[in-house]
Amino acid sequence: MLGKLSWAAIPLHQPIPLVASAVVIVGITAVLVLVIYKGWLPYLWREWITSVDHKRIGVMYIVLALIMLMRGFIDAMMMRTQLAVAAGSAQGYLPPEHYNQIFSAHGTIMIFMVGMTFMVGLMNFVVPLQIGARDVAFPVLNSVSFWLTAAGALLINLSLVVGEFARTGWLAYPPLSELAYSPGVGVDYYLWALQIAGVGSLLSGINLTTTILKLRTYGMGYARMPIFCWTALASNLLIIAAFPILTATLGMLLLDRYLGFHFFTNDFGGNAMMYINLIWAWGHPEVYILMLPAFGVFSAVISTFSSKPLFGYRSMIMATMSICMLSFMVWLHHFFTMGAGADVNGFFGIMTMIIAVPTGVKVFNWLFTLYGGRVRFETPLLWALGFMITFVIGGMTGVLLAIPPADFVLHNSLFLIAHFHNVIIGGVMFGAYAGYTFWFPKAFGFTLHERLGKAIFWCWLIGFYLAFMPLYILGLMGATRRMQHYSEMSWQPLMVVALVGAVIILLGIILTVVQLVVSIRARQSRKVGGDPWNGRTLEWSISSPPPSYNFIDLPQVSAPDSFWLTKQSDKPISDQHHDPDDVTPPTIPSPSAVGFVTAFFAVITGFALVWHIDWMAIMGLLCIVITWLVYAWRNSDDNEVSSQTIETFDASSAKSQTT
């Protein structure tokens, strides 16, 4: 009746997971009680949960990313504290089987639920505004994508309470992840959570690519698109090309585990190295799926706060698209030690060094944008400057690792860990924070607290260097990744320094919450108009927050940085309308619960599949199909925005901006 599920799945005898799950359950219950008690539920349901507005969905993505950042960071703190104490005869407080779950969950959460989610959130919010569109191409699908991502996140967190998580590392390499060596449900949680969230990512990639290629406003040719839209396009093309590989690969592992297939098993001719090739054929593009939108954020931030057009706009596009292509030709550098031979390793080593070239082009473009500009050192620019220095260091250690003989020495050492945290924190996280601070006033109509923002930046920057520079040295000293204990006492001082760095980053994360609370409480005095940063692109030409339909008239564009040029010429943007006869009243799609309901049943299906509860899985799938059929048979369509709504919005935003 309940498959493999029994009371043994609840971690009653393990104090740490028990406390952690109790905290999660109490937290979720407290939030639910508060929401119901305060009577916010109808509002949340109407305005957020069933919303298909790309701006709301973008905000929800970022909220999810911030929550998951905290979850992933708790894992990081546990690892760092464990390693600071578990030297020599001391064993620390985490047993190996628990420690293995923690580093697996940390990697999985940080990449899929924080990095991906944050970037998709930013793209969702910004891209339609920058290209002058009223929404994404498929708004309801957008809601489905978001809620499927949230469903994946929920399944990962569910594993904390019921059962266990994978102990196989964040990519679940076979044969360790095969049934023979991981008979528990941990790997199944991992696989189903990623399959569900992966479908969400794929649909979102299709949606945003279609939006960018087909819904640009009048006059917005490809060479007039803001760079953030270009990087978003490259990133979403990579999602379309790479995520199906992940789906197929995880699908094969699922067939191995559930139906006794032999894709990656040790016996019956399976080939585990095929998994590692396939997963990195997705995994390396994935790195750039995260990184490219961050490059776009920095381009927007640097040119805005230098009050200058981006230096080398066209070379930036070329660099972005060559990274997009080249990212599919370097995957083997993740496992030079496979034994592919000197020719193959040499090819991939050289390709890896070549991909550093367009990245270098970008760095020089940013530097020349700053050069001679009227630079304003506001928080988003600080993140961009911190990124440039940190990312260049990370890039150089990456090129070092691209040399196969050096990689043979450094493979799976803490040097590698330091390298990829260097580029992912220094690149993706800094980019996420820069974008968050930069576009926050656009989303909510008031700015984030400036001094706290700077404090957050310094915490992350100093904390990062303290936490990861020691790891480079430890890696050169021979410390390997994924170890729960070490006997070499001379490593301990550096491990303690790394812990101090992690604590400083923790302070930055706490301050992020404080900043949010302080800014929301002082929102009346922090109110800003449509263009708080003296921006350059179309999103700053409309009010903050924008109306649900974004633009009453679709703007006409004649150059990159069109809004900046309009401001220079003192001509209001709407006066340059393409064709006065062609004004169609804006339409917005009606809210839809399809996304939420689908994700609800996806969680049930995923949970049932993890525990082999067949009837429940079938029921869940059937319910998803019925949801879609009901939706397919709907009669209503998009709502035209009445002129009354527009007038009301104009009046209220005019009122709020004068007060």
Partner 1 sequence: MNTASAMLQPIQSDDIPLSERGPAPTRVVVAYGFWLFLLSDIIVFAALFAAYAVLVTRTVGGPSGSQLFNREHVFIETACLLASSFTCALSSLAIELHNKKYTYLFSALTFVLGIAFVALEFIEFTHMIVAGNGPTRSAFLSAFFALVGAHGIHVTLGLCWLVMMMAQVANFGFTARIARRLLCFSLFWHALDIVWIGVFTIVYLGAR
**Residues within the interface to partner 1 (CB under 8 A):** 133, 137-138, 202, 205-207, 209-210, 213-222, 224, 240-241, 243-245, 247-249, 251-252, 255-256, 259-263, 265, 268-271, 274, 278, 554, 578-579, 582, 629, 632-633, 637
Cα(314)–Cα(319) distance, integer angstroms:
9
Residues 6 or more apart whose CB falls under 8 angstroms from that of 648 comprise none
Cβ count within 10 A of residue 587 = 14
**DSSP structure class, residue 588:** E
Residue closer to partner 1 (CB basis): 582 or 650: 582
Which tokens in the block code for residue 249?
């690969």
Least distance between partner 1 and beta carbon 20 (Å): 36
- Give the residue carrying structure tokens 């957020």: 48
Cis peptide before 545 (omega within 30 of 0): yes
What is the DSSP annotation of 490-506? GGHHHHHHHHHHHHHHH
Least distance between partner 1 and beta carbon 215 (Å): 5
Least distance between partner 1 and beta carbon 200 (Å): 13
Least distance between partner 1 and beta carbon 584 (Å): 9
Residue 606 to residues 113, 337, 598, 635: CA-CA distances in angstroms?
Answer: 17, 35, 12, 31
Residue closer to partner 1 (CB basis): 238 or 429: 238
Residue 341 to residues 75, 212, 328: CA-CA distances in angstroms?
Answer: 37, 42, 20
- Give the residue carrying structure tokens 């995880």: 250
Least distance between partner 1 and beta carbon 549 (Å): 13
| Pick from 131, 129, 132, 184: nearest CA to 159 | 184
Least distance between partner 1 and beta carbon 366 (Å): 27
Least distance between partner 1 and beta carbon 32 (Å): 36
Residue closer to partner 1 (CB basis): 275 or 430: 275
Least distance between partner 1 and beta carbon 251 (Å): 8
Residue closer to partner 1 (CB basis): 1 or 629: 629
Residue 75 burial (C-beta neighbours within 10 Å; 0-12, 13-18, 19+): buried
Least distance between partner 1 and beta carbon 258 (Å): 11
Residue closer to partner 1 (CB basis): 381 or 554: 554
Residue closer to partner 1 (CB basis): 218 or 420: 218
Residue 53, CA atoms < 13 Å, CB-side half-sphere: 20
Residue 142, CA atoms < 13 Å, CB-side half-sphere: 31
End-to-end CA separation in angstroms for the chain:
62
Residue closer to partner 1 (CB basis): 7 or 268: 268
Where would I find the H helices in 131-226?
A: 139-161, 186-214
Least distance between partner 1 and beta carbon 80 (Å): 37
Least distance between partner 1 and beta carbon 291 (Å): 21
Least distance between partner 1 and beta carbon 631 (Å): 12
Residue closer to partner 1 (CB basis): 73 or 275: 275
Cα(429)–Cα(394) distance, integer angstroms:
14
Least distance between partner 1 and beta carbon 253 (Å): 11
Cα(498)–Cα(479) distance, integer angstroms:
14
Residue closer to partner 1 (CB basis): 451 or 634: 634
- Give the residue carrying structure tokens 């996304």: 595
Cα(411)–Cα(183) distance, integer angstroms:
28
Least distance between partner 1 and beta carbon 492 (Å): 44
Cβ count within 10 A of residue 490 = 10
Cβ count within 10 A of residue 545 = 18
Residue closer to partner 1 (CB basis): 275 or 457: 275
* Residue 65 CA to its chain's centroid (Å): 7
Residue 448 to residues 378, 462, 523: CA-CA distances in angstroms?
Answer: 11, 21, 9
Strand-pair category, 587-588 with 639-640:
antiparallel
Q: Please check whether residue 352 is in contact with residue 402, taking contact to mean a CB–CB distance below 8 angstroms.
A: yes
| Pick from 303, 316, 301, 431: nearest CA to 369 | 303
Residue closer to partner 1 (CB basis): 124 or 379: 124
Residue closer to partner 1 (CB basis): 75 or 561: 561
Residue closer to partner 1 (CB basis): 1 or 632: 632
Residue closer to partner 1 (CB basis): 136 or 370: 136
Which helix (H) or strand (E) element contains residue 50?
none
> Tell me, what amino acid is at 494?
L
